[in-house]
Structure 1
Amino acid sequence: MKLGWYMQRLRAMSMAEICRRVAERLGRAFEVAHLRRISRQPWDGAFNDVPKLPGREHVPPELGKQLASDAAKLMRGEWDLFGWKSIETGAPPCWHRDATLGVVVDPAIPARKIDHRRLEHDADARAIWEVNRWSEMTRMAMHSALNGDVHAIHVSQLWLEDWCDRNPAGYGINWTSPLEAAIRLINFCWFDALVRGCNDPELARRQDALTARIVPVHSWWVWHRRSFGSSANNHLIGELASLVLALARWPSLASMICPLQQVVKLLGHEILQQFASDGGNREQALHYHLFAWEMCWLAGAAAGGFEKEVQHRLHLAAQYFVDVGEAPECWDFGDSDDAQVLPLPLSRSKAAAEFRGWFLGRAEGSVLRFWLGEPPKGVKASIHGKWLAHLESGQAVWRDACWTVRADASPLGLGSMAAHGHLDALHVSLWFEQCALIVDPGTGAYYSNPALRARLASWEAHNGPVPVAGRTCPRRSGAFLWADHHDRPYLEVSGDICLMSLACAAHVTRRAVHASQDQVQICDDVGSASAHVVTWCLAPGWRIERQHGLGFVCHHAGSASVFVTVSGDAIEHCEIIECQVSPHFRELATSQALKITFRGALATIWRKPG
């Protein structure tokens, strides 16, 4: 299997990329020596006032209380992993343990000898990395800065000193991903600014020593190990963004990396490459859209802004997120690991809704406005009762007071790997009275349960029509590698109707979505081909029951009932089944689904009561 993965991975690369990767692999033999040399060099710790932090006079009242509560839990070693899973990490945490499984990865192993994709006992590197992103230390520093609790910053410094002691540069799982080092660097920039803002001489002295241990080696390593070629996705954006922040705060880093404006230019190029001209992120994963956008926005603020075209693209990307996202029950499409850059929102579990509120200038975005200032200008709410299409990105959305409909006619993903894509072309997500009703199944896990991840990413887990015999392409060849991409689906909006089609394996499947105030009608046409299946997966909290014949009703405790009617040329089976969905990364829930087997044409109508 490992050999097969390498063969498929090579197919995704150009010859130039292969040569560069061979050179990089050879160079890793000397990496630890380089990092030791960097750590021993004299450090000019002179810093600029970047990032610019807000004053205490405008703190939203709810923020101080929430920060105090969060800091108290964190100092007891009680963390909410991925924003939802309560775990005991220890204080300080065990930095090399998958806290969800209790598996510890030996920290003495040179990082170049660790395959983070295949850890023992099914440990998931992403669960280990989550604890090592330092956002919790930033959260405690925010509490100290706003509530005057110097002890929390002192504890955070002790934890970071412990991290440095137990994670020597070049050893262990935490030196296997440049993106992870980049996120640590972004958090440390903010942490350093928060500490200095306390004007405490003892804290500043300890911070000087920490900065000398952390910033040079992290910056050098991220720069020299930054992603490239077929791997240049949101990882590269994060790596470059972290370097922009670090160079803007500590200008002397330029002597070991390069001038700040050169990195700003590289990041601007990636923004134009990875965000389409309609604002959508080409990764085709909505959570990573916001993740990458936030890193770009933080870097732009630190650098004093980007060139006009780049800045405009980020404004379009903010508008796209408002158009395509939904709150409070988001249910993103594509791969998602609930990643967080900085712990800025009031509540991590509601971060997407807070960002959406900030973009729109609403009250739910007040905490983000405190930290980040004014949002991008010109972002507006969607027009109710009309389809809004992002044709290049392949997403169309219809909203009114009752329904939100999101139709997906997107390409598989970014570049030759399409690392975070799902087989979701022609999928339709549906919200009723802001309650998620028909959902994308989610991601599940990255490395710890590959079978689950493959199932949730499959054609069958989404509700576009799929042949009963299944489809053989595209096929997943690795954790973040797809082979044999499908053709770009077709998307058109005509009046109240959204038209989509997918050509795959010499067969064309068509879907039309007609939305109105009273109902949403979804019509599928698979021609004279063999039997197809449509599986309407409901969000957890809904239950469905048959009324009569091909009529059903969906019940939800927090919403009115929704009626479902099915009709078609030749419906062979119509049954209620159980299915698995993943509301958050590493969370699995059981829900119900309506599974329909048919030939020719099928119409499914979702209708509100009355």
Structure 2
Amino acid sequence: MTLVWYLQRLRAMSAGEVVHRVKERLGRWNEAGKLRRVAGQKWDARCLEVPRLPWRERVPPELGKQLAADAEKLISGEWQLFGWKSVAVGAPPCWHRDATLGVVVDPEIPARKLDHRHLEHDADARAIWEINRWNEVTRLAMHSALNGDEQAIRTAQIWLEDWCERNTPGRGINWTSPLEAALRLMNYCWFDAIVRGCCDGELVQRQDALTARIVPAHAWWIWKRRSFGSSANNHLIGELSALVMATARWPGLEKMTCAAKEVKELLEGEILRQFATDGGNLEQALHYHLFAWEMCWHAGLAAGGYKPEVMERLTRAAQYFVDAVEAPESWDFGDSDDAQVLPLTLRRMNAAAEFRGWFLNRAEGATLRFWLGEPPRGIKAAMRGQWLTYDESGQALWRDARWTVRADASALGLGSMASHGHLDALHVSLWYEQHALVIDPGTGAYYGNAALRAKLAAWEAHNGPVPVSGRATPRRMGAFLWADHHEKPGLAVHEEICVMSLESEGESVRRAVHATHDLVEICDEVGAEQSYVITWQLGPGWRVEQERPRGFVCRHAEAIPAGVTFNGDGIESCEVVECEASPHFRERVMTQALRVTFRGTMTTVWRKCG
């Protein structure tokens, strides 16, 4: 890391956090030895029925078939990273290999000496961690339980034994992130419950040995290395959720790690801190909203529920997700790495739609209802044809049968780092005839392609008006570190018009959005002192044709054409350009965009052609 990064990172910390981090760093020198002692320590491994597994008679018809198809590919070593990218990982997998590049990270390097942000040959830690979260072994166990294939569970146990042999606690990249350990532990809770539910003596005996090798070391390390201070975002929620689940399943862990009551209270505090009172997640990243919510929900089920205030906040968060997400072509705002907590959906690629269906008690959520039971009560689809605003979270939504409009007037992100935020203030996303028409361009990558990550998060990648000369702030100082945050934009609805405003670097920008069944009209006011640019980036599948100087037709193979016109005396140029976008983590595509330069006031009108 550069000196500038370290200086900015220090500025993001309080004095108490700096002291805590120094002590934590010093404690890592003998961490590997402590982990070995914990792993060899005798403990009360008796377990309770947490999580509670569903009855096999209620299996949705499609689920058994999908699990069998998934298991066949997994056992052959063909896995799908991030839900979309097919790679050969081996059977058992090579646990230290970035399967997208073929780069292997030395598993014997002490974890404290590894900088997972900068690996050799541009390997991406996130790609390596993807196969180490144990979603796939849980998926194999699910297949085994529902389809009667005990060999699949034996294969999964062999893989976990191999993982333990090749991932000495305290060594290698898989012992650098407490969140990654937490995701493994959450999956192992389910895996262990499914294996023991099969009532096979040989499997259970093998499972006892695995549990002794895995659970104490993971739980102890997560508790000791849990996130804190300026880093306490969704990572801390995940770490505490894993500990709630583990201590609920194995009460004997409390003597080795923490009291179940204490960790549950800490988690409840984080839920109230990280989810706004209107339900939005303050990280300002829609994917992480669901990711954090799901971890909290699993922990709540394991702990027998939360206090009323926390349950109300999680219910509002579920309602927010239902209102804010558009599926299946979601195009989330903020960061997204297509992570999943547990492999509970029918198809991972359709997770957003399935969770939305579960929240609304619709057929799309049948698989989640099978695994998780009933969703939070009272979640409803919003009234059509009206603006719905989340003032604290800074989002406004409008829907009818033809259009979905999502307007962003949010702060940059959570806390002093705003780790997962993008420069998307005043951005408007449009869906037309259920297809993503105007998009937020996505995330791209984290560590493996820093240039693409910076490009897709920039002001210029979003469609809020930006000076042609650009903006100097906020500044990205690292993969998850922003400096000089912008002020939270204004947001209000007046007479069915959503009005957003941004003050930045001495400039004032105002955007008004009016939506009806026939059209979406967006009026931008920027002043006449300098030229501004707006880039309307279209979703994949849309092609643009120019009809007249300021009028264009957007065509899609599966939708009625949409037209767009630009109106205003200060328009200087309109052009069709090609821009990069990332529909999924580590996926890059080129899409068309309309780039308009103007001064003063400009109105953009989107409507159905004809």
| TM bucket, shorter chain | over 0.9
| 1:262 alignment partner in structure 2 | 262
Q: Which amino acid is 1:560 matched to?
A: I
Q: Which amino acid is 2:607 matched to?
A: R
- 2:135 and 2:342 in contact (8 A); partners too: yes
Q: Structure 2 matches for 1:429-508, cutoff 5 A?
A: 429-508=429-508
Instruction: Describe the superposition over 1:334-359 as per-residue Cα deviations: whole angstroms up to 9, x where unpaired.
Output: 01100100000000000000000000
| 1:568 alignment partner in structure 2 | 568
What displacement does 1:609 show?
2.6
| 1:279 alignment partner in structure 2 | 279
SS at match of 1:534: strand
Instruction: Describe the superposition over 1:573-594 as per-residue Cα deviations: whole angstroms up to 9, x where unpaired.
Output: 1000000000000000000000
Looking at structure 2, the residues matched to 535 and 435 of structure 1 have their Cα atoms a distance apart, in angstroms, of: 19
Q: Structure 2 matches for 1:549-588, cutoff 5 A?
A: 549-588=549-588
Looking at structure 1, the residues matched to 327 and 82 of structure 2 have their Cα atoms a distance apart, in angstroms, of: 18
SS at match of 2:485: coil
Q: Does 1:352 pair with 2:357?
A: no
SS at match of 1:529: strand
What displacement does 1:328 show?
1.2
Q: Which amino acid is 1:66 matched to?
A: Q
Q: Does 1:161 pair with 2:170?
A: no
Looking at structure 1, the residues matched to 61 and 95 of structure 2 have their Cα atoms a distance apart, in angstroms, of: 33
Aligned pairs, how many? Answer: 610
| 1:378 alignment partner in structure 2 | 378
Q: Which amino acid is 1:155 matched to?
A: T
User: Percent identity of the aligned residues?
Assistant: 70
What displacement does 1:496 show?
1.9
| 1:405 alignment partner in structure 2 | 405
Instruction: Describe the superposition over 1:466-525 as per-residue Cα deviations: whole angstroms up to 9, x where unpaired.
Output: 000000000000110000000010000123210000000011100000000100000100
Q: Structure 2 matches for 1:197-236, cutoff 5 A?
A: 197-236=197-236
SS at match of 2:560: strand
Looking at structure 2, the residues matched to 503 and 302 of structure 1 have their Cα atoms a distance apart, in angstroms, of: 45
Q: Does 1:25 pair with 2:29?
A: no
Looking at structure 1, the residues matched to 257 and 42 of structure 2 have their Cα atoms a distance apart, in angstroms, of: 16
- 1:346 and 1:367 in contact (8 A); partners too: yes
Looking at structure 2, the residues matched to 609 and 4 of structure 1 have their Cα atoms a distance apart, in angstroms, of: 51
SS at match of 2:417: coil
- 2:553 and 2:609 in contact (8 A); partners too: no
Q: Which amino acid is 1:513 matched to?
A: V
SS at match of 2:277: coil
- 1:32 and 1:170 in contact (8 A); partners too: yes
Looking at structure 1, the residues matched to 57 and 30 of structure 2 have their Cα atoms a distance apart, in angstroms, of: 50
What runs of 5+ residues in structure 2 fail to find an aligned partner? none
- 1:496 and 1:516 in contact (8 A); partners too: no
SS at match of 1:528: strand
Q: Does 1:50 pair with 2:50?
A: yes
Q: Which amino acid is 1:230 matched to?
A: S
Q: Does 1:35 pair with 2:38?
A: no
What displacement does 1:331 show?
0.5
Q: Structure 2 matches for 1:90-105, cutoff 5 A?
A: 90-105=90-105
What displacement does 1:570 show?
1.1
| 2:387 alignment partner in structure 1 | 387
Q: Which amino acid is 2:5 matched to?
A: W
SS at match of 1:411: coil
Q: Which amino acid is 1:200 matched to?
A: D
Looking at structure 2, the residues matched to 509 and 558 of structure 1 have their Cα atoms a distance apart, in angstroms, of: 36
SS at match of 2:527: coil
What displacement does 1:568 show?
1.0
- 1:398 and 1:515 in contact (8 A); partners too: yes
Give the TM-score normalised by the residue count of structure 1: 1.00
- 2:223 and 2:258 in contact (8 A); partners too: no
| 1:517 alignment partner in structure 2 | 517
Looking at structure 2, the residues matched to 59 and 488 of structure 1 have their Cα atoms a distance apart, in angstroms, of: 47
What displacement does 1:549 show?
1.5
Looking at structure 1, the residues matched to 336 and 7 of structure 2 have their Cα atoms a distance apart, in angstroms, of: 26
Instruction: Describe the superposition over 1:202-230 as per-residue Cα deviations: whole angstroms up to 9, x where unpaired.
Output: 00000000000000000000000000000
SS at match of 1:540: coil
Q: Which amino acid is 1:182 matched to?
A: A
SS at match of 2:290: helix
Looking at structure 2, the residues matched to 60 and 113 of structure 1 have their Cα atoms a distance apart, in angstroms, of: 47
RMSD over equivalenced CA pairs, Å: 0.6
Instruction: Describe the superposition over 1:509-557 as per-residue Cα deviations: whole angstroms up to 9, x where unpaired.
Output: 0000000010000010001230000000000100111001211000000
| 1:367 alignment partner in structure 2 | 367
Q: Does 1:108 pair with 2:108?
A: yes
Q: Does 1:426 pair with 2:426?
A: yes
Looking at structure 2, the residues matched to 300 and 41 of structure 1 have their Cα atoms a distance apart, in angstroms, of: 29
Looking at structure 1, the residues matched to 495 and 318 of structure 2 have their Cα atoms a distance apart, in angstroms, of: 25
Looking at structure 2, the residues matched to 208 and 298 of structure 1 have their Cα atoms a distance apart, in angstroms, of: 23
Instruction: Describe the superposition over 1:162-218 as per-residue Cα deviations: whole angstroms up to 9, x where unpaired.
Output: 000000000000000000000000000000000001000000000000000000000
| 1:237 alignment partner in structure 2 | 237
Looking at structure 2, the residues matched to 82 and 607 of structure 1 have their Cα atoms a distance apart, in angstroms, of: 35
Instruction: Describe the superposition over 1:317-338 as per-residue Cα deviations: whole angstroms up to 9, x where unpaired.
Output: 0000001111111110001100
- 1:442 and 1:581 in contact (8 A); partners too: yes
Give the TM-score normalised by the residue count of structure 2: 1.00
Looking at structure 2, the residues matched to 222 and 258 of structure 1 have their Cα atoms a distance apart, in angstroms, of: 11
What displacement does 1:282 show?
0.2
Instruction: Describe the superposition over 1:72-98 as per-residue Cα deviations: whole angstroms up to 9, x where unpaired.
Output: 100000001000000000000000000
| 1:15 alignment partner in structure 2 | 15
Q: Which amino acid is 1:511 matched to?
A: R
Looking at structure 1, the residues matched to 64 and 591 of structure 2 have their Cα atoms a distance apart, in angstroms, of: 37
Looking at structure 2, the residues matched to 353 and 382 of structure 1 have their Cα atoms a distance apart, in angstroms, of: 16
SS at match of 2:570: strand
What runs of 5+ residues in structure 1 fail to find an aligned partner? none
| 1:608 alignment partner in structure 2 | 608
Q: Does 1:324 pair with 2:324?
A: yes
- 2:43 and 2:253 in contact (8 A); partners too: no
- 2:137 and 2:191 in contact (8 A); partners too: yes
Looking at structure 1, the residues matched to 301 and 578 of structure 2 have their Cα atoms a distance apart, in angstroms, of: 47
Looking at structure 1, the residues matched to 238 and 159 of structure 2 have their Cα atoms a distance apart, in angstroms, of: 24
Q: Which amino acid is 2:242 matched to?
A: S
What displacement does 1:30 show?
1.0
| 1:66 alignment partner in structure 2 | 66
What displacement does 1:382 show?
1.1
- 1:95 and 1:132 in contact (8 A); partners too: yes
| 1:528 alignment partner in structure 2 | 528
| 1:83 alignment partner in structure 2 | 83
What displacement does 1:460 show?
0.0
Looking at structure 1, the residues matched to 493 and 140 of structure 2 have their Cα atoms a distance apart, in angstroms, of: 48
Instruction: Describe the superposition over 1:30-75 as per-residue Cα deviations: whole angstroms up to 9, x where unpaired.
Output: 1011101101111321000000000101000100000000001000
Looking at structure 1, the residues matched to 32 and 379 of structure 2 have their Cα atoms a distance apart, in angstroms, of: 47
Q: Which amino acid is 2:396 matched to?
A: A
Looking at structure 1, the residues matched to 153 and 4 of structure 2 have their Cα atoms a distance apart, in angstroms, of: 48
| 1:125 alignment partner in structure 2 | 125
Looking at structure 2, the residues matched to 354 and 514 of structure 1 have their Cα atoms a distance apart, in angstroms, of: 30
What displacement does 1:2 show?
1.8
Q: Which amino acid is 2:351 matched to?
A: A
